Each structure stands twice: as structure tokens, then as C-alpha cells.
Amino acid sequence: MSPTRESSTTVVTQSNKQDLERAKLLHGSTWDEAHHEDSFLSKLKNKDRNFQPELVEEYMKHWKKDEPTEETEQDRDERTHSYKAVTNGFYNLATDFYEYAWGTSFHFCRFHFREPFEQAVARHEHYLAARGGFKSSDRILDIGCGVGGPARAIAHFTGAHITGLNNNDYQIQRARRYATMHGLDHQQEFVKGDFMNMPFDDNSFDACYAIEATVHAATLEGVYGEAFRVLKPGGTFACYEWVMTDKFDPSNPEHQRVVRGIELGNGIVAMRTRQECLQALNTVGFDVQHSQDLVETSNDAIPWYYPIAGDVRQANTMWDYVTVVRTTTPGRKVTTALVSVLEKLGLAAPGSTKVSQILQTAADSLVEAARMDIFTPMFFFVAKKPAA
């Protein structure tokens, strides 16, 4: 291990301790094993009433100006430099809302006619594993694993051993509990770490993947370069990346406004384009085997964003209806109004309403960008590290 990486590891370790203390303080009794199945409302109530407002304020400070056109290059550079704080703060605040409204796989997917929501999500994960050629004998890295939903699906589907890497302690804690609940604790492990400086040796994994996670990186070259380093020669990297499409015009004020909403509402320091994604892969040494925007090439009758757009006609099961009702624009407004009432009554910690509003901004901006055809959450690629 080089001196540079060794010194970075020491700094990260000290930072990890602070992150853990802050996460435990925020989530209170929800952190404990016995409260794993607490309701969404109970989780809101259990948040620390002094610390959550501080975290919300910290998060919003990363977007100093009200309009994207008012931001300076220095503002954007400062936010990029703080990518870990931006992402970690966002998921500390948003994870419980995500699980309540969406489930444990924090990503979008394609939908077939009469296909239930959960089945479509699983198919999307299985597709990545199949195209990545994952085998039961593989050691696979999940880069930015969330609470482990995709890792569990891919572990069941392939039989491979999955290591989940995540910089958020609360999500790691939940992922470990879910692995035990699903009988996968022998087949999975979850590691705290920064994917721009992964805590793994060179040539450690047979394959790796990321599902809508590497968009949070300070630079794509940074996270892709680390994926390249930890892969064995000949190893595969499969990914669903959030990118702006070729129709995105950075000089268009309306496009700027929508992108700003996507970034603020999802804890992203800067959105990138499809071309920037491919260039980053080539720069760090990957051989891109396959790439395509699954939104652009699929011609699906049911759009990927139907649950957050609120088209209940596409729902097929009771859980589908519950998901869509929660994530529609009216449903999100009802949730925010309910949270506001609970906050005023002292039944939800202060700051909960603001978190709900931030997530409303996210959903509205994503739907708007999708309808403008300037954004996709599923630019899919399979890349290989050249064999030695």
C-alpha cells in the first residue's frame, strides 16, 4: 500500500468514527436492532429533535444560491469538494422516506405490460447480473449498495458472494440486518468506505457493479478508476448510470433549472452527460463492451417514471397501488402535509417536513426532465479491465 493511500485511510478512519456518531445521534432508537421493523411514523418521531434541523441546514448550505444561474464556478467546486458530506447528509435524511415510499432497492427500472412493480425491479437487477456474466464462484463488489436490495437479489440470482460498499452508516446497518433476515449473512458483507478511495487491495474482485450510485461521485474518473483498480485483470464492471442525454443543452435556462432540482433533490453534486461517462471509462483504462440508454432504445409503452408521475392505470397489484399513490404529486403533497402536522404536534422531529419537500423537488424534477427527454436513469454499460 502506498504512503498516499495509507495516509488517506487514516483520515477516512477518523471521519468514519464521526459519521457513525452522527448517524446514531440522528436516528436514536431506530438504530437499535429491536427497532428494525418500526413504522415510518415511528422513525420520524425517533429522530433527534435538535440534530435533524442542523443536518437539514447543513445539507441546504451546499446550494447557496436560489437559482442555478446565480451560482459561480467556486460554488460548484466547493460542493464537488464536499461530495461525501453532501451524499452522506442526504441519505441520513432521506433513507427512511425512500424505504417508506419505494422499498429497499433505491433505483428505477423499465416496466412491461401488467408487470408488478417489485417484479420489474428484480428483473432490472437480474438483467445487469446476466449481462455482466456474474457467476456463483465470483467475488463481486456492489459500489454504493444502499440498504442492500439489489445485492440481495443478485446474491440469490447468481449465488455469488457480494460485498456492499457504502459511505452511509445507517444504510449499512440496515443492509446487514436485511441480509440476516434473508439468510444471506454468509454470502454478503457490507463495508463502510468512500468509493473514490476504496478500502480494498488491488485486483480483489472478479466483478463489480453500480446501480444509480456513482452519480454521487466527485468525478466519474475517480470512482471508475477505483473500480478499475480493485478488479482483477479481465474483470467486469456493469452499471446503470444517471446521465443527461444528448438533448440536454447546458445553456438552456429551463434545462439548468430542472437539473438543479435533480441535484438538490437527490444529493448529487453535479450531473454529467452520456459522453462524459464514456470518456471517463476510457480514460481510466476500461474496454467498453456494451453501452446503451435503455430508455431510448426500449420504446416501452409504460414509462420508467410512471410511479412518480402517478399513472395509477399501470399499477397491477395492491403494493403497486400503494407505491404509486405514495409517490404521485398529490400523494407526495399529502405525505408532506401529514408530516408537517405531525411535526407541529411533536410527533415528528423538526426538519422532517423540509426533508419531504426536498424529495418532492427530486421527483418533480425527474419527471420534468424525463418528459423533456434530457435525462435517463439507466444508461447501461458493461466494461472490462483488460486481461494481464
Q: What one-letter code names the amino acid at 364?
A: D
Report, as an integer, the average pLDDT of 15-35. Answer: 83
Nearest-angstrom CA–CA distance, 83 and 200? 21
- Secondary structure (DSSP) of 360-381: HHHHHHHHHHHHHT-EEEEEEE
Domain spanning 124-246+278-294+376-384, CATH architecture: 3-Layer(aba) Sandwich (3.40)
Q: Could you read off the pLDDT of 142-196 as tens digits, one per residue?
A: 999 999 999 999 999 999 999 999 999 999 999 999 999 999 999 999 999 999 9
Opening angle at CA 189, ends 183 and 193, nearest 5: 150
Find out whether 158 and 134 touch, Cβ atoms under 8 Å.
Answer: yes
Nearest-angstrom CA–CA distance, 193 and 195? 6
Task: Cite the residue boundaries of each domain of the chain with CATH code 3.40.50.150.
Answer: 124-246+278-294+376-384
At residue 10, does pLDDT exceed 50?
no
Opening angle at CA 146, ends 53 and 355, nearest 5: 25
Q: How many residues does the chain have?
A: 388
- Of the candidate ranges 29-38, 138-147, 208-217, the one whose mean pLDDT is the lowest: 29-38
Q: What percent of the chain has pLDDT over 90?
A: 77
Beta bridge partners of 197: 194
At residue 34, does pLDDT exceed 80?
no
How would residue 4 be classed by pLDDT, with cut points 50, 70 and 90?
Answer: very low
Alpha-carbon dihedral 368, 68, 218, 375, rounded to 10 degrees: 20
At residue 9, does pLDDT exceed 50?
no
Residue carrying C-alpha cell 420520524: 44
- Evaluated on CA atoms 22, 28, 30, 35, the torsion sign reads positive
Nearest-angstrom CA–CA distance, 265 and 362? 4
User: Which own/partner pairs from 4-13 qualify as long-range (CB within 8 Å, at least 24 positions apart)?
Assistant: 5/197, 8/197, 9/197, 9/199, 12/193, 12/194, 12/197, 12/199
For residue 228, what are the CA distances in angstroms to 113, 234, 276? 38, 10, 17
